[in-house]
Amino acid sequence: MIYLQLFWEYFKIGLFTIGGGYAMLPLVSQVVIKYSWLTERQLADFVAVAESTPGPFAINLATFVGTTVGNGQGGFWCGLLGATCATVGVVLPSVIIIIVITKLLDKFRKSKIVDGLLYGMKPVVVGLLGSAVLSLLCREILPNLSTKTYTYNFDGFSVVSLLLVALFVPLSKVKFKGRKVHPILLILFSAVLGVVLFGVVGVGV
């Protein structure tokens, strides 16, 4: 049943998200593609919305995916049920772990095993994130190219997307009064640019 799937998959995601909210992205991507819940493009859109709404990005993303999957099944209440399954699923592993280890805090803090786990898991997550960047880049800039199926088709090259990415790399590093500019501002700005530039050029499929 889809709600159990949502819960279980998000439970696994919550258990293996190491290294910050974005580390969740490759795991979520894998799941939504596997069950055909979302396209990668929709997921990218959701990432932006999740960044722009209050609350932790990763949780927002889980709620968003859950709501959308639920909405696909039925109306508002299905969406709510989906959101609950995903959100509870994603936080439950850490809640359980924290309750368990707080009692063993000292042992945990000095634990070589925990250090070892993090030491080994971080590189994998770095690799996964790198792959996510590559995948997103390909989808937006060279939509007919796929590294997985080895179709190196350069048609449909989107100059606009490439330029936007190139623009936002330095833009995201800009500091205002010593603090980095908040992602939501970047997202809003990119939305405006999108309307202007893609309104003229037209959005590819």
User: Residues 109 to 148: which contact another protein by CB under 8 A?
Assistant: 109, 112-137, 140, 147-148
Amino acid identity of 99?
I
For another protein, the binding residue among 5, 78, 157, 165 (CB under 8 A) is 165
For another protein, the binding residue among 48, 143, 157, 181 (CB under 8 A) is 48
Instruction: Please give the residues from 16 up to 35 whose contact with another protein meets the rule CB under 8 A.
Output: 16-23, 25-27, 30, 33-34
Of 16, 139, 7, 107, residue with least CA distance to 65: 7
Asked if 91 touches another protein (CB under 8 A), the answer is: yes
Helix (H) and strand (E) counts in the chain: 9, 4
Q: Which is nearer to another protein, 4 or 122 (CB)?
A: 122
Asked if 189 touches another protein (CB under 8 A), the answer is: yes
Instruction: Please give the residues from 55 up to 74 whose contact with another protein meets the rule CB under 8 A.
Output: 55-60, 63-64, 67-68, 71
Which residue in the block uniquely carries the two structure tokens 């593609």?
Answer: 33
CA distances from 120 to 124, 127, 145 (A): 7, 12, 32
Asked if 102 touches another protein (CB under 8 A), the answer is: yes
For another protein, the binding residue among 2, 5, 53, 181 (CB under 8 A) is 53
Report yes or no: 66 and 86 within 8 Å, Cβ to Cβ.
yes
Query: What is the DSSP pairing of strand 179-180 with strand 151-152?
Result: unpaired
